[in-house]
Amino acid sequence: MTVPTPDVIDRLADIHPGSFVDRIRKERPETRDNAQKSYLALFEPAHEGDVTRTERLIVATFVAGLHRADAAEAFYASGIEGDAAGITAVKSEIEGGWTSGPYGKYPSGPLSSEDKPGPAFTVSETGRKALGQKLSAALEHSHLLVYRPREASPAALQALLDAGWTTTAVVTLSQIVAFLAFQVRVVTGLAALSEAG
């Protein structure tokens, strides 16, 4: 028998049953339930498809870490089983990847005056050896999506395909990064609401 997974946003934002933020969340049960179902669809998938559970968790750990969302980073890292080297490598890549966003260049034109150039992340040689080409490409793309999504391009997707990900896997990876960008912000927002009392 499977034990129902507790609500991840409640857990990460430290929202307790009966608290006022808990009551607020329960006024939007569809939002609450589907945020959780999104988590389950990505991390406890009925169809693992072209991205393994460990790969999903390593990407999520990296994305949470880039957001400096410590509780989420620890939560996703704790789900990675039997890959201590992968956890060590991803934590090192997080520290190498820290910056502030959003930044990046716009398509050439009237918005060019708002261009904010910034770094394109590459996984270290040590990280690449530990994580392999596929995951390294996934982390490099994740960094782009987290900090400079306006610089996304067909070439960036081709790099994922060239590293061995399928088109469907690229959709799943994109959803993992984008969902995490949502989840960590809901946690930040609701934790602040809770703290404000």
Partner 1 sequence: MTETVIHPPIDNRPAAFTQAEIGWTPWLQPLTEEDLTDRHWAGLVDASRSKSPYFMLLARDPEILEARTKTDKDIFYNTRAGLPRAERELSATAASRLNGCIFCASVHSRFASHHSKRTGYVQKLLDEGTDADLGSRRWNAVTKVSVALTQTPSTFGVTDIEHLRSEGLDDLEIADAIHGAAFFNWANRLMLSLGEPTPAA
Site for partner 1 in 154-173 (CB under 8 A): 154-158, 161-162, 164, 166-168, 170-172
Question: How open is the CA angle 134-138-144, to the nearest 5 degrees?
Answer: 150
Give whichever of 16 and 47 is closer to partner 1, judged by the CB atom. Answer: 47
Contacts of 15 (CB under 8 A, 6+ apart): 9, 21, 22, 25, 190, 194
DSSP 134-165: HHHHHHHHHHHHHH-GGG--HHHHHHHHHTT-
Q: In the set 5, 19, 28, 52, which binds partner 1 (CB under 8 A)?
A: 28
Nearest distance in Å: CB 156, partner 1: 7
Question: How open is the CA angle 31-53-15, to the nearest 5 degrees?
Answer: 35
Nearest distance in Å: CB 92, partner 1: 19
Q: Can you tell me whether residue 83 is helix, strand or coil? A: coil
Give whichever of 40 and 85 is closer to partner 1, judged by the CB atom. Answer: 40
Residue 11 to residues 14, 45, 133, Cα–Cα distance (Å)? 5, 20, 33
Dihedral-angle region of residue 124 (phi above 0 means left; psi in -120 to 50 means alpha; beta otherwise):
beta
19 binding partner 1? (CB under 8 A): no
Give whichever of 66 and 130 is closer to partner 1, judged by the CB atom. Answer: 66
146 binding partner 1? (CB under 8 A): yes
What's phi and psi for 104, nearest 5 deg? 130, 170
Give whichever of 45 and 119 is closer to partner 1, judged by the CB atom. Answer: 45
Residues 38-77 that bind partner 1 (CB under 8 A): 38, 40-42, 45-47, 49, 66-69
Residues 86-125 that bind partner 1 (CB under 8 A): 100-102, 104, 106-111, 114
Give whichever of 85 and 120 is closer to partner 1, judged by the CB atom. Answer: 120
17 binding partner 1? (CB under 8 A): no
Number of residues that bind partner 1 (CB under 8 A): 73
